[in-house]
Every structure is written in C-alpha cells, then in structure tokens.
Amino acid sequence: MIVADIDEAAADETAESIQGRAYAYRLDVSDPGAWETFATEVRDEHGVPDVLVNNAGILIAGTFFGHDPADWERIVGVNLMGVVHGCRTIGAQMVERGSGQIVNVASAAAFVPLRSAPAYATTKAAVLMLSECLRIEFTGSGVGVSAICPTVIRTNIARHAHVAGVDTDTESRFVEAGARLQRYSWPGPDKVARAVTRAARHDWAIVPVNPDAWLTYFVSRLSPGAVRSLARAASFDVMLRGAMRLFKA
C-alpha cells in the first residue's frame, strides 16, 4: 500500500499504522509536476496501482464575498485539481495496463448548495462530475471510476479549516467549535474506508456514505427545490454559534 501526504510525518505515521507493508511518500496534490514524479516512482518501484484513492481535501468556509481569489485558488488546487492530476497520471497507467479502479472522495456537498461553504461545495460537485465523465470515457478500458460522497465524518478537516472573510479571533473560535462538534459527532473514517473498499470491489458509480448522505442524494434527485429550500435555511453562523454555545467555546 502507498500513502501520500503533503505532511511527510503524517504519511509516515499512517503507513506505520497499516497492517502489512506500506510505503509513505510526500506529495503536494496541487502540484502537477509532483504528481508526474510520484506516479513514475510508484510505478517503477511498486508497479501500477490496482486502486487509486484521491482523498486529499481542505475546507474553506464563509460567505461567497468573504472568499478572496487566493482562497479559491487554494481550495480548487487541492480539492479539484489534486483529483484531476491523480486521475491523469495514475489513471493513464491503469488505462495502458487495461485494469484498475479510481475512487474519488467527493462529498454529499456535491448534491446540495452550501451557503456556508460555496467554494468547498463547488469543488466537490466538480469532483463528482469529473468522476461521472471519466467513468463514461473509460468504459471498455478495464478501468472503473467511483465517487464517494459522505456527509460529516469524524476527521481533522474542521480543525484545519479556514473561515474566509472574518477576523482571526472569530475564525479561531469558529474553527474550535466546529472541530469539537465534528469530533464528538458522526461516524469515523473507517465507515468511509469500507465504502471505498466496496466501491473498488464492485465498481459502483456513486456511493453516499451516511444515512443523511443517502437522504440528501435521493431528495436532490427527486426534488431539487426542496434541497434549495433546506440550503437557504441553513447557515454557517447559526450552526457554529450553536456549537460554541454547546461546548462553551
């Protein structure tokens, strides 16, 4: 198994925690040149991967006008272009060999507009559409493409989030409250890992993970207007201020 992360120490720690042999690499997923080097090294040292999981992602929250161009460039570079580069480099090796499975981790945010995180939702919707496009293009090549779409999972993404358009103190309080709320709620990453495994094994196209992800997925298809109404009622400020009251942040 190959583990890649921009934080080399985190990659090493993850590789050490995996039963069996695992190798850690440093990789900035937003850098196309780094992907070219990484894909070549992995192929030459370990062979063409059987499964590629594009999982790297960051969260930038806040209003649309709070996001500046740098926020957009950063989140698009990681959440979308990181997936594009992975599919382009590793995916090309798979297609040439004639087998493999690409699993892109999108989000249930791909199904519903988020007034609290427009850039995040936009990148995840783009990952879902990219996965759908490649799934069609790769038909008959022996390479499948799946999109995994969870809602909130107990990870550190909220802890490392950026809140655009607010002062440092407000951002710190919101991030801390969001991280606490995420830490004490929702399933852990093992649930997503099982979804990834099933998607890779059965070549499933779209895999909502949590029950609320499935609900959002079906409602978005059956009644888009209802989803938009729900999104209008949702608010980043309301959610996190409630979390701060709950945890006395």
Domain span at residue 119 reads: 50-247
155 belongs to a structural domain: yes
pLDDT in tens, 39-91: 999 999 999 999 999 999 999 999 999 999 999 999 999 999 999 999 999 99
Place of tokens 């992360």: 5
Backbone angles phi, psi at 51, to 5 degrees: -135, 135
Judged by DSSP in three states, 18 sits in: coil
Point out the catalytic residue in the list 23, 25, 120, 217.
120
Catalytic, 120? Answer yes
Q: Could you tell me if residue 32 is inside a domain?
A: no
For 185-236, how does the pLDDT look when each residue is reduced to its tens digit (9 = 90+)? 678 889 999 999 999 999 999 999 988 889 889 988 888 888 787 777 665 4
Whether 208 is in a domain gets the answer yes
- What is the number of structural domains in the chain? 1
- The larger pLDDT score, comparing residue 177 to residue 52, is at 52
Instruction: For residue 42, tell me if it sits in a domain.
Output: no
Q: Is residue 2 one of the residues assigned to a domain?
A: no
Q: How far apart are CA 163 and CA 61, in angstroms?
A: 5
- Token duo for residue 85: 């580069």
Neighbour-count burial of 240, counting CB atoms closer than 10 A to its CB (0-12 exposed, 13-18 middle, 19+ buried): buried
Q: What's 111's domain CATH number?
A: 3.40.50.720
Q: Which residue has the tokens 């079906």?
A: 218
Average pLDDT of the residues of the chain: 89
Considering the domain boundaries, does residue 21 fall inside one?
no
- Decide if 152 is inside a domain: yes
CA–CA separation, 204 and 146 (whole Å): 6
CA distance linking residue 62 with residue 64, whole number of Å: 7
Nearest to 112 by CA among 207, 219, 240: 219
